[in-house]
Amino acid sequence: MSDASFLGIGGRFSYQGNGSDIRRNNGQASLSYNRFYHSLPFEWDLEFQGSGRIERTSEDKQEGSYDFEFHPGIRKYLNPLGNVFYSGELSIDRGENYDRPHIVVTPGLGYGRFIHVTPLARAVRIEEFLLEEGLIEGPLSKETLVALAQVINRESEYRTTYGPRYRVRWLEAMEEVIAESGRFVHGGLGGVGTVRIYEVLYQERVNQRFIGWWVRTGVEYQALTPFEHISRGDPGMSLRLRYSRPIGWRSQFGIDAEYTSPVTGDFGYDVFNVEVSLNYLYEVTNRIDFTVSNITTVNRRDPRFKTVFIERLQSGFLFYIENQILFKIGTDFHKVRGREIGHGLSMSIEYRLH
C-alpha cells in the first residue's frame, strides 16, 4: 500500500509574446494539491490546480480572473493480484471566460497497473547521505537497497503496531538492514546517521517514482458544458494509455495519451481529439531538478473544418531553497499550425504546506 500527497501555494510572474512583440504580462497566485493511494485491489488519485491572476494587457488595461482544474480518478481491480480493472474519471475545469464549470465523466474498463517505487528512491538518497557522512564504507548492493526500500514502505504498519513511538522501531529496522550488508564503518548509524535518515523521510523532497503502464477504454459523457448557450455533445469513445518508468536512480519518464471521438456518424477521423503528453524529470542534485514536457494536441471539431495541430514545449529548473520552499524558472514555446511561434518565460515561488 502507498499513500502520498502534496499541498502547496505559490506565486509567479510571466510574460507572453509573438515574434518581437510582448503581448501581456501578469502576476499570479496558485494553489496545488495532489494525492494518490495505491494498493493491490484499489487505486485512486486526484489533482487540483487553481489560480487567480491580475493581468496588464498590451492596451495597458488591468484585468482580474481565476480558473481551476480538478481531476480525480479511481481504479478497482477485479482480482487483487490481477491487472484487469474498472474505472471512473471525473474532470471539472473552470476557465476565466466560462459561464460555469465544464464537467466530463468517463467510466471505463482497463488493463495494467503501476508500481510505486518512491521508497527505493528514498533508499538511494539515504545511501548518498551516509556516504557523504563517511558512515558506510561504500555503495550498498541492490539487494540491500531493495530491502531498505521495503522497510521504508512499511511505515503505516509500524505506526499501527507500535503507536506514537513507532519511528524508533522503524529506524532500528532500517539500521538492521544496512548492518547486514557489513558496510557500517562504526557499527551503526549513530546520531548523525539517524538525523540524515530523518531528513530524507520527512524534510527532503523526493520526487514520486512509478514503473508500469495501463490502457483504458471508456465512454466520455459531458455532464455540463462551459457555456450556457451550448448544449451537451454526444457521448464519445475514450481510449487512454499511461506509461511511466524511472531511468536510472535520478530520472523519470512518463507518457499520457488519450484519443476521443463521438459515438455518432462522425466517429473516427471526422471528429476527434488526440492529446499526447511526454514528461521527463532529472534530479541534478538533491536540491535541483530539471524538467521538460511536450504536449501535442490534434483535433477536428467538425467534419467541415480542417484538422488543428498544436505543439507545446515547456522546460525549466526547480530549486529547493529550503525544504518547504521551491523556486521555479521555466520557458514555454507553443506552435499552432499556420501561426507564429508563441513563447514565454516564467518564475514562481511555491511554499509546501503538506
Tens digits of residue pLDDT in 80-128: 999 999 999 999 999 878 889 999 999 999 999 998 888 999 999 999 9
Whether 215 and 192 share a structural domain = no
C-alpha cell at 47: 489533482
Whether 187 and 58 share a structural domain = no
The residue among 203, 233, 259 that closes a domain is 203
Whether 226 and 287 share a structural domain = yes
- CATH code of the domain covering residue 47: 2.40.160
Whether 195 and 325 share a structural domain = no
Q: With CA atoms as reference, report the closest residue to 162 among 153, 172, 176.
A: 172
Q: How far is CA 249 from the centre of its chain?
A: 18
- C-beta of residue 70 within 8 angstroms of C-beta of residue 93: yes
Whether 85 and 216 share a structural domain = yes
pLDDT for 63 = 76
Residue with cell 564503518: 185
Q: Residue ranges of the alpha helices (H) in 37-141?
A: 118-132
pLDDT for 290 = 95
The span from the CA of 129 to the CA of 116, in Å, is 22
Statement: residue 213 has pLDDT above 70: yes
C-alpha cell at 11: 506565486
Whether 76 and 225 share a structural domain = yes
pLDDT confidence bin for 60, thresholds 50/70/90: low
3 state DSSP class of 202 = helix
Residue with cell 511561434: 341
Q: For 329-334, what is the mean pLDDT?
A: 91
300: number of Cβ within 10 Å:
18
C-alpha cell at 254: 512518463
C-alpha cell at 325: 520552499
Number of separate domains in the chain? 2
Whether 107 and 220 share a structural domain = yes
Whether 187 and 72 share a structural domain = no
3 state DSSP class of 120 = helix
Q: Residue ranges of the alpha helices (H) in the chain?
A: 118-132, 142-152, 155-162, 166-180, 190-198
C-alpha cell at 103: 464537467
The span from the CA of 77 to the CA of 14, in Å, is 43
255: number of Cβ within 10 Å:
14
The residue among 145, 169, 203 that closes a domain is 203
Q: With CA atoms as reference, report the closest residue to 124 among 137, 139, 113, 134.
A: 139
Whether 157 and 16 share a structural domain = no
Residue 134, classified by CB atoms within 10 Å of its CB into exposed (0-12), middle (13-18) or buried (19+), is exposed
Whether 217 and 198 share a structural domain = no
The residue among 169, 203, 237 that closes a domain is 203
The dihedral over CA atoms of 34, 40, 42, 43, expressed in degrees to the nearest 10, equals 20
Whether 107 and 242 share a structural domain = yes
Q: Convert the pLDDT of each residue in 142-187 to its tens digit.
A: 999 999 999 998 988 999 999 989 999 999 999 999 999 999 998 8
The span from the CA of 91 to the CA of 75, in Å, is 15
pLDDT for 53 = 78
Which amino acid is it at 97?
N
Domain that holds residue 129: 118-203
Whether 263 and 337 share a structural domain = yes
Q: What is the mean pLDDT of the chain?
A: 87
